[in-house]
Structures are given as C-alpha cells and as structure tokens.
C-alpha cells in the first residue's frame, strides 16, 4: 500500500462523523434508480445482474435481464437449461464466456449447495466466473455482509475523493482501494453503501464530466478541493486489441436451398465456443492490416456496413485509384477465401462480389471482416486432403465452371450435368475426391433460413450481418446493389 493510500485508509477508518458513508447513504436512498434487479435481494438475481453489468451499460442490460429472468427464474432452471438456450438469451450482450460461466456457477450451486447461494464469501468467490468484485457485490447486496465491491466506477470515485494518484491499473493499487472501501462501509448498511458508491460513479462522478456541484460528498472531496477531479484517476492505457483482417463468405443457397445461407458452428472450446457464424478465414499475410489493406478498407467503406462516399477519399482521381486498388485487392482476397475454405473444409464456393465490411472487437483482438456474397458449389468427398496445390486446382475448376454454381449448385437438378462435368474434370486432373452426396455438408455446417435464427446463438457481428442480409433480400435492395 502506498503512503497516500495508507493515509486515505486511516482517514476512512477515523473519518469524523463518517461523512462519506452518511452522506452517500442518504443520497442513494433518496435518488436510487428503480432497476429490476433491485426489486428484492435474492442472491441469484443480484448475481445475474452483476455479471450482465460487467462491461455493459445499465440501459442495455435491463431488457436482457428481464428476458433472462423470465426464461430462467431460478438457479435450477438456469443450471438445467441447454447451453444453446442460455447463449440465445445472452445473444447481443457480448462476452459470451460470462453466460457460460454463469451457468457453470449455477450448476455448482445446485450440485454443492442444493440450489441456494451460500452466505459465505469463500464459497461464493469459488463459483465459476465470480471474481472479487462480483463476490463482494453478492455478499453485500444479498446478505448485507461488510464486503467491498470495487470496480472501475468505485476506483474512480475513491481516487478522486481521497486524491489518490496511484495507477489503478495495478493490482496492488486495486487491493489498497479495496481496503479503503471496506473501511468506509457504515455498520449494517453494506448493500446500500456499495450500491450507492456505484450509483455515484454512474450518475454523478462520471469519467469525463464529474458533476461535483450536485455531489453529496463534495464538501470533503480532496480531488475536487485540489481542482484535480478531471485528472484522476491515473490509469495506464491497456494495449489496444490486435487487428485481424478476416474474409467471410455469405454463401447463398440455390435449388432446394434457395433463400437459405450457409453457416457453421464454432469449435467446442475457445473464442465464441459453439456459437454460429458465417464461414470466414484469415486474410493472406496473417490478416494484419498493412498498407494494401488500409487502401482497400478506405475505398471499401467503413466498418459496420456503411459505405464511405467517394468525396471522403479526396479528389475523384484519388477515389478512382483507391477504388481500383480495392477492386484488385478484393479479387485476390476472394480467390484466397475460396482456396482456404476448400483447404479447411473441402467446401467449394465461388465468391461473387464484396458485400460489406463489419467489425467485432474482443478484449485482445479485433476482427475486421470483409464479407463477400458467394455461390455454393459442392463439398468434396473425403479422400486426400484438399490442401495446397489441390485446393488451388479445385477452386480454379470452380471458377471455370460457373454453370455448376449458377444453376443451383451441385445439388440442383439443373446443375447435375455441370456437377458430373466438374467431377470428370477433377478425375482428369488426377485429383481424388468427388462431389459428396446430396445435402452432405462439412461437419458443423448447415443451411439456415431467417426463422432458424430464433433457435441459434450468433455473436453480435454475425447477428447484425444476417439481419441486414434478410432485410435487404426482403426489400429487394440486395439485387439493386449488384446492378
């Protein structure tokens, strides 16, 4: 603990009249917002709300919270639900490991404590996905135990109130602030105190424009008295997420699959485990955004699906040049995507044209997605792996034989002749692997229509893309865009 923190701790413990706690409690009890998780002190409700509120704004959480509690009103309901249903209910909130951990924690409570959250900090802190902050919040709000619950909001408020200049990104500083927060808790009012300090951070002592003039603790706020409220807290910036350029295929079905698109399920573990997505691959060169990618991105338009105007690129000549670079880049990337999917999944597609860009930000990585509309060809039977040069030949054939794609893919009756022709070409080329039987898809892949999405969980970016796609198809603007 630094000397400043030590002084703050002593001040917190001996504060005359317990100014901070008394003023904060009075203020909180008179202004507190009517939020759904404050309806009672049920530890399960507190737990769900605290997990949802991590990294997410209150306004965003409210409808999700209400839906979640309707669907899983008890710990047992949540523990016994299929994971897909839990993820579906969480869809759009992001950070999906929170949902998986919450369900795993609920299963622990059912298995080890008969379905009742224990009134014991060590036991609560041992539940899956429950860190020191969430444990403190559950213990104080649900059980009124004098445990601190220190998140970014609380560190900001206390750094300012005590004029602490230590870097709150450091674990040791956080630990020191936890001790200070614990010393400030008024007797018998831990739940309201912790909620009060969070509320103060959310409504008054906000990051960029603290409302000191309406703050209940302004009279003794050292940061405010020193005129330093805008400089505090001190926090070193986290490393920005690493950008990764990925090429996604929006493969449109034809023949019996007309109106459907091809999606795949992510692996059992790791990033976005078991969620559904469009097939996508890393762009050549590992996907890092180099100068070519930057040129293409500039001309392609910004992320989140809106086109950038030519005027924004400068002169018409500059716009034309950038557009030509982007066009060449896209051709190369479409070819790469076709080869990579043939290699990875033995899936032959024919990318047709760029559709839009999108972005998905994780804590450590940022996916810059370029999405291409594509036609479905066929899936190759297992034989020799379709790697390297073979994949190149496959996709070369795919490009040369558009009839197989245009006429409903290899599965359409009109495409059968083209399929046979392509198979013969593959044989002729000395390649093993024939088009797989009708309706055979690579493992984890499936055709879906819009209504199927009700049962499937997608990460935000793919949810947005697919919803936009169905909307554009419905309005006819997708076809117009192509003209």
Residues 121-160 interacting with ligand SF4 (rule: CB under 6 A)? 157, 160
Residue in 408, 422, 417 with CA at minimum distance from that of residue 375: 408
Q: How far is CA 431 from the centre of its chain?
A: 41
Based on CB atoms, which residue is closest to ligand SF4, 152 or 243? 152
Number of residues that bind ligand SF4 (CB under 6 A): 15
| Nearest distance from C-beta of residue 205 to ligand SF4, angstroms | 3
For residues 229 to 258, the per-residue mask of contacts with ligand SF4, x marking binding by CB under 6 A and - elsewhere, is x-----------------------------
CA atoms of 252 and 128, how far apart (whole Å): 40
149: its two tokens: 């619950």
Q: Which stretch binds ligand SF4 (CB under 6 A): 164-172, 216-224, 327-335, 392-400?
A: 216-224
CA atoms of 392 and 338, how far apart (whole Å): 9
Q: Choosing from 23, 50, 199, 229, which is the catalytic residue?
A: 50
Q: How many CB atoms lie within 10 A of CB 437?
A: 9
Q: How many CB atoms lie within 10 A of CB 236?
A: 9
Residues 185-204 interacting with ligand SF4 (rule: CB under 6 A)? 204
Q: Which stretch binds ligand SF4 (CB under 6 A): 117-125, 181-189, 217-225, 320-328?
A: 217-225
- Residue 205 binds ligand SF4 (CB under 6 A): yes
Based on CB atoms, which residue is closest to ligand SF4, 214 or 383? 214
Q: How many CB atoms lie within 10 A of CB 125?
A: 16
| Nearest distance from C-beta of residue 177 to ligand SF4, angstroms | 14
Residue in 398, 292, 276 with CA at minimum distance from that of residue 337: 398
In this structure, are residues 219 and 55 in contact, taking their beta carbons and an 8 Å threshold?
no
156: its two tokens: 């900001």
Based on CB atoms, which residue is closest to ligand SF4, 184 or 221? 221
CA atoms of 39 and 179, how far apart (whole Å): 29
Which member of 212, 289, 325, 335 binds ligand SF4 (CB under 6 A)? 212
| Nearest distance from C-beta of residue 61 to ligand SF4, angstroms | 23
Based on CB atoms, which residue is closest to ligand SF4, 233 or 295? 233
CA atoms of 459 and 96, how far apart (whole Å): 8
* 50 catalytic residue (yes or no): yes
Q: Which stretch binds ligand SF4 (CB under 6 A): 98-106, 219-227, 276-284, 349-357?
A: 219-227
CA atoms of 236 and 241, how far apart (whole Å): 15
By the 10 Å C-beta count (0-12 exposed, 13-18 middle, 19+ buried), 264 is classed as: middle
Q: Which stretch binds ligand SF4 (CB under 6 A): 19-27, 40-48, 205-213, 390-398?
A: 205-213
Tell me the CB-side half-sphere exposure of residue 1, using CA atoms within 13 A: 14
| Nearest distance from C-beta of residue 203 to ligand SF4, angstroms | 10
185: its two tokens: 């808790």
Which member of 43, 94, 105, 210 binds ligand SF4 (CB under 6 A)? 210
CA atoms of 279 and 159, how far apart (whole Å): 46
Name the phi and psi angles at 401, rounded to 5.
Answer: -120, 60
Q: Which stretch binds ligand SF4 (CB under 6 A): 188-196, 220-228, 248-256, 356-364?
A: 220-228
Based on CB atoms, which residue is closest to ligand SF4, 212 or 289? 212
> Contact positions toward ligand SF4, by CB under 6 A?
157, 160-161, 204-205, 210-212, 215, 217-218, 221, 223-224, 229
Active site residues: 50
């Amino acid at each position: 603990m630094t000397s400043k923190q030590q002084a703050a701790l002593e001040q917190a413990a001996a504060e005359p009249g317990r100014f901070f706690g008394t003023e904060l409690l009075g203020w909180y009890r008179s202004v507190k917002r009517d939020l759904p998780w404050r309806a009672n002190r049920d530890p399960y409700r507190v737990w769900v709300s605290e997990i949802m509120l991590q990294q997410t704004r209150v306004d965003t959480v409210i409808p999700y919270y209400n839906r979640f509690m309707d669907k899983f009103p008890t710990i047992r309901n949540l523990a016994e639900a299929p994971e897909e249903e839990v993820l579906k209910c969480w869809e759009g909130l992001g950070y999906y490991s929170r949902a998986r951990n919450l369900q795993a924690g609920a299963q622990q409570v059912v298995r080890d404590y008969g379905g009742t959250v224990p009134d014991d900090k060590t036991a609560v802190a041992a539940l899956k996905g429950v860190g020191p902050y969430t444990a403190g919040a559950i213990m104080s709000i649900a059980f009124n135990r004098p445990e601190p619950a220190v998140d970014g909001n609380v560190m900001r408020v206390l750094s300012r109130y005590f004029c602490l200049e230590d870097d709150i990104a450091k674990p040791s500083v956080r630990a020191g602030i936890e001790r200070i927060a614990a010393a400030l808790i008024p007797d018998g009012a831990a739940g309201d105190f912790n909620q009060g300090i969070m509320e103060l951070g959310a409504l008054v002592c906000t990051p960029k424009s603290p409302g000191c003039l309406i703050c209940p603790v302004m009279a003794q706020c050292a940061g405010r008295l020193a005129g330093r409220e805008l400089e505090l807290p001190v926090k070193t910036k986290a490393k920005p997420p690493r950008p990764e350029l990925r090429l996604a295929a929006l493969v449109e079905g034809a023949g019996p699959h007309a109106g459907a698109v091809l999606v795949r399920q992510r692996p059992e573990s790791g990033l976005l485990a078991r969620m559904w997505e469009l097939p996508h691959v890393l762009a050549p060169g590992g996907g890092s955004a180099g100068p070519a990618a930057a040129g293409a991105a500039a001309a392609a338009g910004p992320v989140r699906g809106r086109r950038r105007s030519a005027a924004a690129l400068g002169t018409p000549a500059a716009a034309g040049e950038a557009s030509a670079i982007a066009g060449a880049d896209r051709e190369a990337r479409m070819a790469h995507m076709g080869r990579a999917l043939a290699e990875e999944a033995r899936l032959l597609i024919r990318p047709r044209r760029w559709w839009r860009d999108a972005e998905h930000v994780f804590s450590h990585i940022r996916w810059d997605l370029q999405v291409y509309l594509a036609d479905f060809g066929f899936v190759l039977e297992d034989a020799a792996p379709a790697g390297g040069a073979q994949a190149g030949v496959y996709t070369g054939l795919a490009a040369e034989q558009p009839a197989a794609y245009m006429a409903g893919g290899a599965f359409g009756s009109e495409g059968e002749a083209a399929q046979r022709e392509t198979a013969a070409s593959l044989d002729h080329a000395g390649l093993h692997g024939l088009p797989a039987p009708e309706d055979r898809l690579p493992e984890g892949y499936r055709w879906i229509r819009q209504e199927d999405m009700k049962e499937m969980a997608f990460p935000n970016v793919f949810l947005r893309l697919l919803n936009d796609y169905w909307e554009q198809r419905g309005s006819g603007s997708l076809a117009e865009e192509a003209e």
